[in-house]
Structure 1
Amino acid sequence: MSLSRCSTRIFQNRNNLLKLSKRHGYIVLVPEIGEDSLEKNPLIQRDGLPEFNNITIENCMAAIGKQTLEFESDIKKIELELSNLENPDSFKNVIDPIEKLGSSLDMTWGLSKTLYLGNSTLMPTKSYLAIHERARRARAVKFNSPIIYDVILKALESRKDLNDEQTRVAKKFVLEGKLNGINLNEDKKAHLKENLNKLMAERNKFRIKNEIATRQFAHRIHDPQVVSGLPIDLLKSIASNANRLQTGPWTLSLHPHVYVPFMEYCPDREIRWNVWQAMVSRGSGYGDRELETGSNIEEIRFLRRDQAAILGYKTFGDISMETKMAGSVENVLNMLETLRAYAKPAQDAELESMYAFALESGFEGSRMELWDVPYWRRKQRMASFDFSEKSFQKYFPLPTVLNGLFELCERLFNITIKQRTGVSAWHKDVRFYDIFESHSSAPVAGFYLDPYARNEEKIQMPNSGWMVGIQNHSRIADTKPLAALIFNFEPPTAETPTLLQFKDVSLLFHKFGHALQHLLSRTDYSEVSGLSNIEWDAVEVCGHVLAHWLQNESTYKLISSHYKSEDKLPTRMFESLISVHRHTAGLELSRELYLSALDMELHTTKTFWLDLVKKLWPVYRSFPLSKVDSHPCSFTQIFTEEWAAAYYSHIWSRVIAADIYSAFHEVRDNEEQILEVGKRFRHTFLALGGGCHPSEVFRQFRGRDPSPKALLSSLGLRKKVIVT
């Protein structure tokens, strides 16, 4: 887990953990331990895979209750031993024992999350959140011990007998402690605790107001002409009567699974405007003053500035940079400006082209507005590139895509992926796969695959998929990687297999690349294994790298086969996919650059939020700023989630991934060299995990620092566009 994501949450519990007795505060969970003995709990059996068929909420709670209490108690024992040692060894006496102590707890936590995402009837939200919070608090104890902190800090300062991976582990402990205020005096600790409690309260207010504003909006449609071209899935979501999809009435909401496709398919410009303005004015106070969030924005910003000052940082953005590959706010802003120089002119040209197309197609507006873009972009794609999801979908049956994906990874990374039957799982559709190294007779890792949507059991989100790291690789604890991949693809029918839309194929590749970094990690310590301790702006890199292979025509020979004719995807359709990928790339990139710049300015300056919007909007966007557009007031990613001063990470990881993939692209005509690049990627990004700083990993792989040129090239933006 990224340090910045957990540091503030950890600190809120620190003083209680230090001042209260060992058991105080945990009484809620003690009764839930129940009568199951440790040996009978299938979650924590160490001889093979978990017996998912026998897992219940009760024994999940029993396991987590027992393991967390034991972990906290054992940390106290380590502290006591350290106090009696004159020259304790930071790894022999501290980190190695903690590695072994935490492995069972981590696995229980991972299994609980897997059940929550894979079958919410077995693991309801309330139960999972209780387990998650209890496990998180227990694991935080190791980072909040002054004795442990001092021992590791001394070892880090002396650098005696520490290899590179051990140095990264030690730095993780020290930085966690620093961000949690462990080295502050008592007055400052109290101040920081008060600050973080207030910050949590303000973030909750912001979240609740946005949830209410989102739920309150409803637009009723009675005219069948308006919905005549809407996809059937969308009709099912908005129809008042499931048996009258075509006759209505239909009710629109602002939930993403409704808003996004409706804006793409609705032909009525006035209705599009009404839905758009409702979306961007949430939290503005134009309607219900009780739901305005502008005041919450300023209070959150003030508290984050105060937090930074307490911890000795200039701005909250500087705190964020402690755990990012970018390293500094200046580096982030330089990257944004470099990309903007290409994206903004391209955006202008794309809008001119779209407007001309719309005029030819009957559009009567004087200019293209934000609420027009989704609809006319889709229409232009269909007309210009002969692009239809349904026609492409027929070429991507799930079994063929999976086999092709596995074959690609086996070839590139010299591994073998084999399905194992008879493995206990949380649903009959779940499959299990072992991963073998070329030289190994026993599997080195394994993963579950749960591909199909189950409306009554699984969390439903648009284009959703999850990779859960159930168990990390650790030589110290003698554990091998275990993961779960969970999706919501349409299940097969008696007549047809599961046919994936292209966005589904892309999601599958991305999540599998994410999983490979977890599964093929070869670190000694779980603390830095796989995705653990990877700087947050680099976490998605391996997922993006694998998804980049969908820009290679040879990949489609592996993953495509028409479900009736078994024909491969034709070249013209592949070229159409590339054109769609690049269509309005400047427009989309400019939007992400704007939000990234806004986020960073909000967390590095004191300027009023609306003044920042007015300053930055014309720099990045090619639309007039509407008076009703108060989008920061519903920017939940940075105010209620964990993306504060980190929203740029979405773009940064794409820049790094595109540069990595370009190493494969440069030798695309030489199979031997492709395999050599794959081997290098396997031994750097996939093997080193969080045991090496991603900047150094990149240099090991590429022999230089990253460049944005590859991303711009993949988006078709390498040439600066001059708009006349």
Structure 2
Amino acid sequence: MLHLLAKRAWITNRLTLNFSKSIVRNSYYLVIPELPPTVEGTDAVFHSETLPSFEHATPQVIVSGGIRLCSEFDTTIQQHVEKLANDTSKPTFESIFNLIEDLNVPFETGYYTIRQLALVKQGTFAKLFSKFDSHFSVHREFRFQDPALFNLVQNLNTDENRTKLKNWQQTLINVYLYYGKLNGCHLNNEELDQMQLLNGKLSQHQYSFAQKLLYANKTFTHLELDPFAFDDVPYHIKQQFAVDKAKPDLGPWKLDLSDQTFHTIMSYCGNQPLRKLMFEAYYGRASPTSDRLDRNVENIVEITRKRKSIAKFLGYPCFADIVLESKMARKKETVQEFIETTRSKLKPIHDENIRQLTAYAQEKSNKPKEYEKLQSWDVAYWRHKQCQDLYSSLKIDPLQISRHFSYEHVLQGLFNFVEFLFDVKFELENNFDEQYKWHTDKKDNINYLGMTIGHLLIDAFARPNEKSELCIGTAGRDLCQRHNILPIAYLNMSLPRIEGTATLMTLSQLTALFFAARINKFLNY
């Protein structure tokens, strides 16, 4: 049993059990980590039936509570499975899953709580979360790596039993069977060894692929000496790339292959040869045009072969079938149909946009013959110029636009839109308990309650050197239908605020907010 668990953990590139060899007895023993002492406030922070009490959150509480959650999760599940295996009565859905899912709610809620603290109190909790992230991932996989539990669920998966189950119960069975199969729970020892070998080689080629991309990024540098190459580039961008920051207009300018540099040059630089150079370098990283030892061709071929072998080994037609089984599309044909449907509808629109953009480039360029056909490295630049001219002709000022998008107005508009689409109404909770806040300023921590389906906590304003600048929506607690525990979601933004004035949002901030505030992510609706 222990031998199989250790090998199954190897398949997923995670080590679940650590073994040490005794020199005296020439046998193996299990090394169990010592649990830290319980710290006051742990229960309040990691309580899953109410909102987490963030005012009690300290590094000591997080370490104590996090390690205990992980250890108790594994130990209790293992004892539960052993008890079921020795039970002579016929297992039912409730006897198998109730205890496991009861453990899963506080386990996942604890993980989400630590992640939220890392986003809103980076200085105190970011490093802690980086350590706990992989730790929780290892323990999250534990229940999918036990052959005994896999067999119990598989025996439950009969037509007779499934007709008696609700949809969410059938989905849960499918999840356990899917991940159990990926971890090789249905294989014998010899097959498991082969699977282990395939996954090991696949991991090696994936790692090599990533390293060669990083090496290509690291080794590329371009020093632009042409003093006219950055003529139409905004001053702040010139300064960003200038070797001499005090004289950004004179150059030279040093460029690398980071995403930010690449997209900036594509959108703002009017020098076509420089755009072409950056485009070919960016998309040619570790390509067949690189030096032989720096190419990723062999890695791509081997990754494809190993994935095909793994799919065949697990009984799937191809690797795409493995991936899609846990996705909404489910089948390759559905994905292909979606792609073709989208392409057929959007291609005429795209072609017309390119035709108009080509005409615009020829009209505005001093060398119109060079733009009889737009190249890939031309599109972003001329589209940016076209938008600037359009804004100018319509006398549109981005700063003036912001006057119509105050934070409070935008948020209410978002909620009205969600209510119209999903019939979900948000109500402000005015009597929000202070212990559930991670920041003392009430304006920074607004709580909206959907009284019937969940909780949404919003942290809108920037706190330099303390809070992440990302606009991101994350889960805080999953829905538990068994105990009627409502889900929690967090929405974190970093809007600037001046006391006494309305907070105005730019178009990019508005876009980020609507992208982050996807209702299916927040409320599991």
Same fold (TM over 0.5): yes
C-alpha displacement of 1:64: 1.8
Q: Structure 2: give runs of 5+ residues left out of the alignment.
A: 1-7, 22-27
Change (3 A) 1:453 1:225: farther
C-alpha displacement of 1:74: 0.4
2:334 maps to 1:331: yes
Q: Paired residue for 1:315?
A: 318
Change (3 A) 1:10 1:194: closer
- Residue type of the alignment partner of 2:189: E
Q: Paired residue for 2:114?
A: 112
Q: Paired residue for 1:509?
A: 514
The one-character-per-residue Cα deviations of 1:651-694 (angstroms, maximum 9, x if unpaired) are xxxxxxxxxxxxxxxxxxxxxxxxxxxxxxxxxxx2xxxxxxxx
Q: Paired residue for 2:482?
A: 476
* 1:305-704 aligned within 5 A: 305-364=308-367, 365=370, 366-384=372-390, 386=394, 389-410=398-419, 413-420=423-430, 422=434, 423-425=436-438, 428=441, 430-437=444-451, 445-452=454-461, 456-457=465-466, 465-489=471-495, 491-493=496-498, 497-512=502-517, 514=518, 516-520=519-523, 530=524, 686=525
* Inter-partner Cα distance in structure 2 for 1:209 and 1:84: 51
Seq. identity, %: 23
Secondary structure of residue in 1 paired with 2:449: strand
* Inter-partner Cα distance in structure 1 for 2:349 and 2:522: 39
- Residue type of the alignment partner of 2:80: I
Change (3 A) 1:448 1:250: farther
Greater CA drift, 308-317 or 472-481: 472-481
The higher-RCO structure (CA 8 Å, 6+ apart) is: 1
Secondary structure of residue in 2 paired with 1:473: coil
* Inter-partner Cα distance in structure 1 for 2:91 and 2:40: 32
What TM-score comes out, normalization by structure 2 length?
0.83
Q: Paired residue for 2:4?
A: none
* Inter-partner Cα distance in structure 1 for 2:251 and 2:14: 55
Cα RMSD for the two superposed structures: 3.4
Secondary structure of residue in 1 paired with 2:428: strand
CA contact (8 A) 2:46 2:65 kept: yes
Counterpart pick for 2:173 among 170, 180, 185: 170
Secondary structure of residue in 1 paired with 2:376: coil
CA contact (8 A) 2:84 2:91 kept: no
CA contact (8 A) 1:42 1:51 kept: yes
Change (3 A) 1:194 1:46: same
* Inter-partner Cα distance in structure 1 for 2:227 and 2:119: 37
CA contact (8 A) 1:142 1:148 kept: yes
The one-character-per-residue Cα deviations of 1:636-660 (angstroms, maximum 9, x if unpaired) are xxxxxxxxxxxxxxxxxxxxxxxxx
The one-character-per-residue Cα deviations of 1:107-146 (angstroms, maximum 9, x if unpaired) are 1111122233334322335x32321111111121222222
The one-character-per-residue Cα deviations of 1:223-269 (angstroms, maximum 9, x if unpaired) are 78655655677566545577766676643332223322331111221
- Residue type of the alignment partner of 2:274: I
Secondary structure of residue in 2 paired with 1:121: helix
* Inter-partner Cα distance in structure 1 for 2:200 and 2:32: 20
CA contact (8 A) 1:119 1:426 kept: no
* Inter-partner Cα distance in structure 2 for 1:459 and 1:249: 34
C-alpha displacement of 1:63: 1.7
2:72 maps to 1:70: yes
- Residue type of the alignment partner of 1:505: L
- Residue type of the alignment partner of 1:266: C
Counterpart pick for 1:264 among 263, 267, 274: 267
CA contact (8 A) 1:263 1:272 kept: yes
* 1:250-289 aligned within 5 A: 250-284=253-287, 286-287=289-290, 289=292
Q: Paired residue for 2:61?
A: 59
Q: Paired residue for 1:155?
A: 156
Change (3 A) 1:230 1:404: farther
Change (3 A) 1:42 1:19: same
Change (3 A) 1:510 1:79: same
* Inter-partner Cα distance in structure 1 for 2:47 and 2:295: 51
C-alpha displacement of 1:188: 1.4
C-alpha displacement of 1:215: 3.2
Change (3 A) 1:10 1:509: farther
* Inter-partner Cα distance in structure 2 for 1:247 and 1:494: 41
* Inter-partner Cα distance in structure 2 for 1:222 and 1:54: 57
CA contact (8 A) 2:212 2:294 kept: yes
CA contact (8 A) 2:16 2:138 kept: no
Q: Paired residue for 1:713?
A: none
Counterpart pick for 2:296 among 293, 297, 310: 293
Greater CA drift, 310-319 or 414-423: 414-423
Q: Paired residue for 1:557?
A: none
* Inter-partner Cα distance in structure 2 for 1:493 and 1:232: 27
CA contact (8 A) 1:44 1:50 kept: yes
* Inter-partner Cα distance in structure 2 for 1:216 and 1:496: 48
Q: Whose Rg is larger?
A: 2
CA contact (8 A) 1:355 1:368 kept: yes
Q: Paired residue for 1:89?
A: 91
The one-character-per-residue Cα deviations of 1:597-622 (angstroms, maximum 9, x if unpaired) are xxxxxxxxxxxxxxxxxxxxxxxxxx
* Inter-partner Cα distance in structure 1 for 2:41 and 2:462: 34
* Inter-partner Cα distance in structure 1 for 2:31 and 2:203: 19
* Inter-partner Cα distance in structure 2 for 1:455 and 1:262: 29
The one-character-per-residue Cα deviations of 1:499-534 (angstroms, maximum 9, x if unpaired) are 33324323312322x2x32554xxxxxxxxx2xxxx
Change (3 A) 1:187 1:146: same
* Inter-partner Cα distance in structure 1 for 2:374 and 2:49: 63
Secondary structure of residue in 1 paired with 2:125: coil
The one-character-per-residue Cα deviations of 1:292-335 (angstroms, maximum 9, x if unpaired) are 22221112111111111110112111212212222322232233
What TM-score comes out, normalization by structure 1 length?
0.62
Q: What is the count of residue pairs matched by the alignment?
A: 499
CA contact (8 A) 1:110 1:471 kept: yes
Secondary structure of residue in 2 paired with 1:468: strand
CA contact (8 A) 2:42 2:62 kept: no
